Amino acid sequence: MSLVELGCWSCIALVVYAYALYPLILAVLARFVPRRTRRDGPRPRSVSIVLAVFNEEQVLARRLEELAELLAASEIDGEIIVVSDGSTDGSADIAREFVWHAPVRVLEMAVNRGKAAALNHGCAAARHEVIVFADARQTWTEQTLPRLLDNFADPTVGAVGGDLVLEKQPGVMAGVNLYWRYEKWLRKRESRVHSTVGVSGSISAVRQELFQSIPPGTLLDDVYWPLQVAMQGRRVVHESRAIALDRLPAQASDEFRRKVRTLSGNYQLVALLPEALLPWRNPIWFQFVSHKLLRLAVPWALLTLLVLTALVPTAGYRLLLAAQLSCYLLGVLGIRRASAGRSRLLGAAGSFLILNAAAWLAFWVWLSGRAHSSWCKVAYDLPPRRLEPAEETLSGECGTLFGVPESDALPVLQASTTGK
C-alpha cells in the first residue's frame, strides 16, 4: 500500500470512527456496563436560577413569570437572579417589576461583557445549594425543574443537563434537527457510561460548591464548567425528562454562523483548559477527544481524502472520488430551500455540509482571533401555540408538541403566547 493509499484509508477511518464507531462503542458500554443514577437520597433544599440576558425585553416578562410559577410549584426555597449584561433596552426595568411579587433579584452590568462574565456575576451572588441555568427565549415544561433536581439525590452527580427539544422545520433545517437528535443520543449514552461532555446552557444545573469561574470571553461556557465538574470527580448526567422547548433560526446562514462560533469555541476550550487533554486529569478524556476534538478533524480528513483519491489512478479510487463528489452535490442541493424541502436525504446532506464547512472555517476564525465576531445575535420568532413535532414522542403516543406529550407541552406554550 502506497503512502497516498494509506492516507486515504486513514482519513476514512477517522470519519467513520467519529460518526459511527464511537457511537457504537458508547451504545455497547451503556448497554452492558451502565452507571445508574440513584434517586433515593435527599433532594436539594434550595435553588438559585441564574438568567443572563442581553436586550431581551420582548420575551423577558413571559419568561420570568413562567420561571416564578415553576419555582413556586416545586415547593422549594429559591430565587431567580437576572443578570443584565449591559442591556441597552428595557430588560433590567422589566426584571425589576417582578421584584415586588416574585423572588427575583436584578444585577446590572454597566457594559456588555459576554455571557461567561454574566454567569460568573450571577453565580457569585447565588445563595442556594444548586444553581440552575436558563435562557430567556425557551419555555420549560411543568416538570422540568423538579426532574433536573431529582438527579442531585445521587451524591456522585455534580451537574445535570436537560433535554433541549426543537420545533420541526423543513429543508436543510430538518437536517440540522436530525443532527441535534443524534447529538442528544450521544449525550444520553455518555451519561450512562459516566458523564456527558457538555450540557445545553439553556437548561442545566450544578452544585454551587462545584461551579468554578468561567474565563471571560469563553464561548462554550456550557462545556467549560461541566468539564470542570467532571475533573473534580463528579458526574455530569443528562436528564431526558427535563425539557426545554425551542426553535432553530429560520435561515441556514444564521445556523451556519452559530456553528462557526460554537466550533471556534472548541479550539478556544483546549487553550483555556489544556489539562482536559490529559487522561490522568480528565476522567472523561475518551468522550472529550472522541466527541469534541475529532469532530474538528473531520473536515480536514474529508478535504484530504478528496485530494488523495484524485491522485490514485485506479478504478476503485476513481469510484470513491465520484462518490464523494456526488455526496457534496447532494449537500449543495440540500442547502437550497426548494430542493431540501422535497427530500429528507437532501436536508441531511445539506446539514452535514454546513456542519463540516463551519468546522473548517472555525479553525481559521479562532486562529485569527475573531471568534467573538463570528456570530451576532439572531432574531427568533416566538413559538406559535401549536408546533409540528420535531422528534419522536417520548411516550410512544401520538399528539405531541416538539416531540413532547401534549399534556406536558401545551400549558407552557399557551402561557408563552398569551403574554404570561
- pLDDT (0 to 100) of residue 396: 32
The torsion of the CA quartet 303, 307, 313, 319, rounded to 10 degrees, works out to: 30
DSSP classification of residue 378: P
- pLDDT (0 to 100) of residue 415: 36
Higher pLDDT, 374 or 30: 30
CA 188 to mean position of chain CA atoms: 13
CA atoms within 13 A on the CB side of 72: 10
Separation of alpha carbons 70 and 286, rounded Å = 37
Q: Is residue 157 classed as helix, strand or coil in its secondary structure?
A: strand
Q: How buried is residue 171: exposed, middle or buried, by Cβ count under 10 Å (0-12/13-18/19+)? A: buried
Q: Lowest-pLDDT range, 37-46, 161-170, 205-214, 375-384? A: 375-384
- The model carries a pTM of 0.85
- pLDDT (0 to 100) of residue 170: 59
The mean pLDDT value for 234-239 works out to 96
- pLDDT (0 to 100) of residue 357: 92
Higher pLDDT, 257 or 319: 319
How large a percentage of the chain has pLDDT more than 90? 64
- Could you give all domains of the chain from N- to C-terminal order, each with its CATH number? 46-248 (3.90.550.10)
Provide the grid cell at 39.
434517586
**What is the pLDDT of the chain when averaged over all its residues?**
85
Separation of alpha carbons 359 and 364, rounded Å = 9
Q: Lowest-pLDDT range, 9-23, 148-162, 238-252, 314-328? A: 238-252
